[in-house]
Amino acid sequence: DIQMTQSPSSVSASVGDSVTITCRTTHNVNGYLNWYLQKPGKAPKLLIYAASILQSGVPSRFSGSGSGTHFTLTISSLRPEDFATYYCQQTYSSPRTFGPGTTIDIK
């Protein structure tokens, strides 16, 4: 299985801050990397797929980049609704593993 790590595991930030989350995979996933946001008690919501493509309806303050085994999600100017947990997922090989998550909370 491809293993996933995310850093940091949590970060405290303020509205308006820029935050970058890193996701690393144990094998090259050839850009098959997705990002989701999850709020407590809710299902995950797709933000970005194929490493850098913004899902329809997702604000442009979210951006993704990376290749190989190293990927990043950047939120350029945090809004109150962005305080949540973020997960990366590789879909290059089965099983399609998720990362352990990064929680952004209010400083």
Positions that interact with other proteins (CB under 8 A): 31-32, 34, 36, 43-46, 49-50, 53, 55, 87, 89, 91, 94-101
Among residues 30, 106, 102, 39, which one has the least CA distance to residue 73? 102
**In whole angstroms, how close is the CB of 55 to other proteins at the nearest point?**
7
The smaller minimum CB distance to other proteins, of residues 16 and 57, is found at 57
**Residue-level length of the chain:** 107
**In whole angstroms, how close is the CB of 16 to other proteins at the nearest point?**
28
**In whole angstroms, how close is the CB of 34 to other proteins at the nearest point?**
4
Among residues 84, 99, 63, which one has the least CA distance to residue 10? 84
The smaller minimum CB distance to other proteins, of residues 83 and 96, is found at 96
Among residues 107, 85, 96, 93, which one has the least CA distance to residue 6? 85
